[in-house]
């Protein structure tokens, strides 16, 4: 418990700049991912009010016992009306300026709370508040490494299913079951299993299509365990691939490898995107790579930072994000290769482990 309390206190230190920049007495959190990160609560309903050195977690009667066991360094208060209990707490503590997560607060909740707190100032904080989770601590890095290893091993275990006659949905189902057998709490997202011409759809969720000899199959998959997610993609060949299939896979794999080799603290994330994108463009396929190079992974499957031509983040030690270039050609199919990496002091460590060469099955 001492270690957990120290960890949560360290995480809350990321809030200091918000208290200073906005002259706040307290910050109200509604985003359950941020709440879990800051106080340890794992349920589906609650609110967290933090000052620089104190905190209150509010929940209804369904979660009082659970919160008492999970929440560190915050007093647990039970409510029947969340806004009324928050308002009473704010008045009792004498707070006047209350920051709140504007990106995660509904208009209805804000309207009711502001009415209950007439005379107090509610200060909207932008999505930059989610930046507090961008750099992972040692505990998070271990959890992300563990779930990535679990997920990769699950894919390797179900490889015998990747053959002509198997339906895409069978692969998705067996992959999820294998993850659960290995200790996952569930899948990280709806798996993408896109074979043949369906591979041209970057988000081609598994369908009833049957795998055929001569096709490429893209499998985008991930597990979730203890709240943390993994994300990985392989593209395999069912039978001997033709020359164009081999060439496109090699282009994507090289773009993937070049981007991973470029990861280091201090490099703008848009430059990482450019490393892969420019290589694909130089090979004549720039028009077929439409999405960003990657995204952060943690308590959410998609979180900060964003790796795209429009992203403004800079890579920093402790960030965990995907590198996932792809080429998608309508009427032909596609290739995506994805690994999740953790930024280290001088480069990065690849967390996902399934081989990225062209499997020929």
Residues 162 and 186 in one domain: yes
Residue 36 has pLDDT above 70, yes or no: yes
pLDDT digits (tens, 9 = 90+) for 57-96: 999 999 999 999 999 788 999 999 999 999 999 999 999 9
Residue 3 has pLDDT above 90, yes or no: no
Mean pLDDT of 141-168: 97
pLDDT of residue 7: 55
Residues 194 and 249 in one domain: yes
Residue 106: Cβ within 10 Å count: 9
Count of structural domains within the chain: 2
| CATH code of the domain containing 329 | 3.90.230.10
Residues 125 and 142 in one domain: no
CA distance 43 to 35: 10
Tokens found for residue 306: 């964003």
Range of the domain at 111: 2-133
Residues 16 and 49 in one domain: yes
Last residue of a domain, one of 133, 163, 190: 133
Residues 151 and 94 in one domain: no
CA distance 79 to 356: 51
Residues 88 and 20 in one domain: yes
Residue 6 has pLDDT above 60, yes or no: no
Residues 20 and 122 in one domain: yes
pLDDT digits (tens, 9 = 90+) for 251-285: 999 999 999 999 999 999 999 999 999 999 999 99
Residue 127 has pLDDT above 90, yes or no: no
Nearest one of 240, 236, 249 to 214, comparing CA atoms: 240
- Please, are residues 230 and 223 in contact by the beta-carbon 8 Å criterion? yes
pLDDT of residue 51: 95
Residues 111 and 182 in one domain: no
Residue 5 has pLDDT above 80, yes or no: no
Residues 223 and 248 in one domain: yes
Residues 91 and 181 in one domain: no
Residues 171 and 29 in one domain: no
Euclidean distance between the first and the last CA atom of the chain, given in angstroms as a whole number: 49
Nearest one of 214, 219, 160, 213 to 187, comparing CA atoms: 219
Residues 164 and 257 in one domain: yes
pLDDT digits (tens, 9 = 90+) for 188-230: 999 999 999 999 999 999 999 999 999 999 999 999 999 999 9
Residue 2 has pLDDT above 70, yes or no: no
Last residue of a domain, one of 133, 152, 181: 133
């Amino acid at each position: 418990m001492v270690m957990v309390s120290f960890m949560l206190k360290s995480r809350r230190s990321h809030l200091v700049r918000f208290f200073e920049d906005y002259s706040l007495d307290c910050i109200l959190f509604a985003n359950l991912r941020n709440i879990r990160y800051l106080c340890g609560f794992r349920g589906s309903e609650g609110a967290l009010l933090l000052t620089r050195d104190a905190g209150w977690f509010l929940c209804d009667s369904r979660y009082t016992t659970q919160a008492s066991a999970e929440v560190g360094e915050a007093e647990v208060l039970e409510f029947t009306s969340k806004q009324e209990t928050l308002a009473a707490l704010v008045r009792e503590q004498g707070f006047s300026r209350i920051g709140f997560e504007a990106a995660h607060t509904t208009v209805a909740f804000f309207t009711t709370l502001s009415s209950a707190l007439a005379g107090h100032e509610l200060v909207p904080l932008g999505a930059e508040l989610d930046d507090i989770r961008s750099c992972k601590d040692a505990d998070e890095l271990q959890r992300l490494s563990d779930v990535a290893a679990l997920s990769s091993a699950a894919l390797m275990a179900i490889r015998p299913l990747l053959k002509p006659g198997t339906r895409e949905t069978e692969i998705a189902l067996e992959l999820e079951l294998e993850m659960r057998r290995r200790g996952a709490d569930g899948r990280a997202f709806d798996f993408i299993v896109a074979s043949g011409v369906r591979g041209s759809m970057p988000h081609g969720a598994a369908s009833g299509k049957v795998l055929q000899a001569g096709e490429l199959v893209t499998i985008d998959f991930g597990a979730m365990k203890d709240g943390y997610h993994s994300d990985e993609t392989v593209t395999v060949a069912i039978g001997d691939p033709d020359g164009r299939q081999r060439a496109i896979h090699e282009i994507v794999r090289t773009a993937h490898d070049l981007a991973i080799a470029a990861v280091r603290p201090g490099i703008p994330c848009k430059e990482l995107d450019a490393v892969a994108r420019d290589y694909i463009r130089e090979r004549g396929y720039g028009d077929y790579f439409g999405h960003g190079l990657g995204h952060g992974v943690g308590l959410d499957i998609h979180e900060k930072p964003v790796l795209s031509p429009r992203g403004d983040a800079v890579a920093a030690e402790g960030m965990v994000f995907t590198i996932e270039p792809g080429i998608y050609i309508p009427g032909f199919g596609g290739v995506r290769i994805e690994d999740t990496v953790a930024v280290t002091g001088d480069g990065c460590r690849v967390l996902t482990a399934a081989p990225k060469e062209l499997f020929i099955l």
